[in-house]
Structure 1
């Protein structure tokens, strides 16, 4: 499946900066031009995608809700 086939409009190219592996899920920090994007994905997906520090990736962000609060 190509990235174009995925229905996600917010796509940020970046490089994996940190991987915190867990037994079931892992936390991935991706450095993008706009800053760090953090994703929590299954550890199985980390292995399947062969993610490593320095891997070039695209962070795909899809949200049904964005909340905003005043300071």
Structure 2
């Protein structure tokens, strides 16, 4: 994976809550340290984000972007 953003945090998907349009993803970065991101439902499905999947939180400005490889 190559990306221009400098802030990338590796974590594991802890919780997935699907809404009608958006999905809330909770990543566990370390024991007791969590990060929450809201992305489109279609993006969550395309990335195959499910509990237990290793995922990256990519932080660029005020946005948090999720990436998998």
Q: TM-score normalised by the shorter chain: which range applies?
A: 0.7 to 0.9
Which ranges of structure 1 fall in alignment gaps of 5 or more residues?
65-71
| 1:7 CA displacement | 1.9
Q: Which secondary structure does the structure 1 equivalent of 2:45 belong to? A: helix
Q: Give the TM-score, by structure 2 length.
A: 0.80
Looking at structure 2, the residues matched to 27 and 11 of structure 1 have their Cα atoms a distance apart, in angstroms, of: 19
| 1:20 CA displacement | 0.8
> How many pairs align?
61
| 1:63 CA displacement | 1.6
Root-mean-square deviation (Å)? 1.4
Which ranges of structure 2 fall in alignment gaps of 5 or more residues?
63-69
